[in-house]
């Protein structure tokens, strides 16, 4: 578990591939340094900086507006918090669909600017060539089939995919296309559990489910869903393992009342005093450098803006 210098050993792509059919892979999203440290300390194997950050961090109703620069910024912050977990960066909408060359370039940016260790992209057969080219550039790829949120408008909403024979065959064919193209793992989102089990038994790489039942080789959840930090509608598959949102509201409410009552800050949060201070208001004003000195009488009225120029 630990490397030669006592630091935890990083989870690698070959480590993850070797977990196919073995110990399940635990993956979770993170969008900043603080959350990255917590999920890493908890022992997750893979951390995804998902483009779900558009909805979770930015308050958007879809992931579509998220940009590659925004992804790189959040990936960089998360990378600094991970000692052990493998970091996956999501390629956002229109950063890879245009051409295989665009997909390679955008993946390179997430690796170089975002310090990612692999990239994830949504889609199946139609992006197999893109995946192949990214992998050939030396960048590990995680695929994502079933419900692909970047296609929310084409799909008619965030809804279960792979229903019926035709729908199921498409999800299976998409997963096989990604495996053939060189993806080292495949996320299966919002598909019936028997279909996820079928895909998992057919492809040779680990499947990571979200709303895809227990047969997958691993599971992924959005960190704010898992911790109960999210407010409003929750997807059926989002199990809350804690109610940190309620705890946070309670704690912040206590802070508000202690500020108002004067109970905070107490001595424990206060530095040692300097000793008796006999500086009058006039003496204090004379401490200002000459260019900032004002007539004390003016201090009660806001200074005109040009005073500072």
Q: Is residue 200 close enough to count as binding ligand KIV by CB under 6 A?
A: no
d(CA 126, CA 181): 11
Q: Is residue 51 close enough to count as binding ligand KIV by CB under 6 A?
A: yes
Which position among 28, 31, 52, 206 is part of the footprint of ligand KIV (CB under 6 A)?
52
Q: Is residue 50 close enough to count as binding ligand KIV by CB under 6 A?
A: yes
Instruction: Assign 142 to helix, strand or coil.
Output: strand
- 225's tokens: 């869903």
Strands 25-29 and 46-49: parallel
Map residues 176-195 to x or -, x wherever contact with ligand KIV holds by CB under 6 A. Answer: -----------x-x------
d(CA 300, CA 62): 48
Q: Which is nearer to ligand KIV, 29 or 161 (CB)?
A: 29
Q: Which is nearer to ligand KIV, 52 or 106 (CB)?
A: 52
Q: Is residue 91 close enough to count as binding ligand KIV by CB under 6 A?
A: no
Number of residues counted as binding ligand KIV (CB under 6 A): 12
Pick from 217, 225, 159: which is nearest to 192 by CA?
159
CA 253 from centre of chain: 27
Which position among 168, 172, 222, 229 is part of the footprint of ligand KIV (CB under 6 A)?
222
Q: Is residue 175 close enough to count as binding ligand KIV by CB under 6 A?
A: no
Report the greatest alpha carbon distance in the chain: 85
Q: Is residue 107 close enough to count as binding ligand KIV by CB under 6 A?
A: no
- 51's tokens: 């483009």
189 part of the active site: yes
Residue written as tokens 């210098």?
A: 5
Residue written as tokens 């709303």?
A: 211
Residue written as tokens 């089939």?
A: 145
> Which of the residues 117, 122, 179, 189 is marked catalytic?
189
Q: Across 30-97, where does the E strand assignment appear? A: 46-49, 86-90
Map residues 9-48 to x or -, x wherever contact with ligand KIV holds by CB under 6 A. Answer: --------------------x------------------x
Q: Is residue 207 close enough to count as binding ligand KIV by CB under 6 A?
A: no
List residues with catalytic annotation: 189
Applying CB under 6 A, the residues found at the interface with ligand KIV are 29, 48, 50-52, 90, 144, 187, 189, 210, 220, 222
């Amino acid at each position: 578990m630990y490397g030669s210098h006592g630091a935890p050993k990083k989870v690698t792509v070959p480590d993850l591939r070797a977990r196919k059919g073995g110990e399940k892979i635990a993956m979770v999203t993170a969008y900043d340094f603080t959350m990255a440290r917590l999920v890493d300390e908890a022992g997750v194997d893979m951390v995804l900086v998902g483009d779900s950050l558009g909805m979770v961090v930015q308050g958007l109703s879809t992931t579509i507006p998220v940009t590659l620069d925004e992804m790189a910024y959040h990936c960089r912050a998360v990378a600094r918090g991970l000692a052990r977990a493998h970091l996956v960066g999501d390629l956002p909408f229109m950063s890879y669909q245009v051409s295989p060359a665009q997909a390679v370039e955008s993946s390179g940016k997430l690796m170089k600017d975002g310090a990612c260790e692999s990239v994830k992209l949504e889609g199946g057969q139609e992006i197999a060539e893109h995946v192949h080219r990214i992998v050939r550039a030396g960048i590990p790829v995680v695929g994502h089939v079933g419900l692909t949120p970047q296609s929310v408008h084409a799909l008619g909403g965030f809804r279960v995919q792979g229903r019926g024979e035709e729908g199921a065959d498409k999800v299976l064919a998409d997963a096989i296309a990604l495996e053939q193209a060189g993806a080292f793992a495949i996320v299966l989102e919002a598909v019936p559990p028997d279909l996820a089990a079928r895909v998992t038994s057919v492809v040779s790489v680990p499947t990571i489910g979200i709303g895809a039942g227990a047969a997958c080789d691993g599971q992924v959840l959005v960190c704010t869903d898992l911790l109960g930090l999210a407010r409003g509608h929750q997807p059926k598959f989002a199990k809350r393992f804690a109610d940190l949102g309620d705890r946070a509201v309670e704690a912040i409410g206590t802070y508000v009342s202690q500020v108002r009552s004067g109970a905070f800050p107490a001595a424990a949060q206060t530095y040692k005093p300097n000793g008796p201070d006999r500086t009058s208001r006039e003496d204090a004003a004379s401490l200002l450098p000459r260019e900032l000195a004002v007539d004390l009488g003016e201090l009660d009225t806001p200074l005109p803006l040009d005073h500072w120029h």
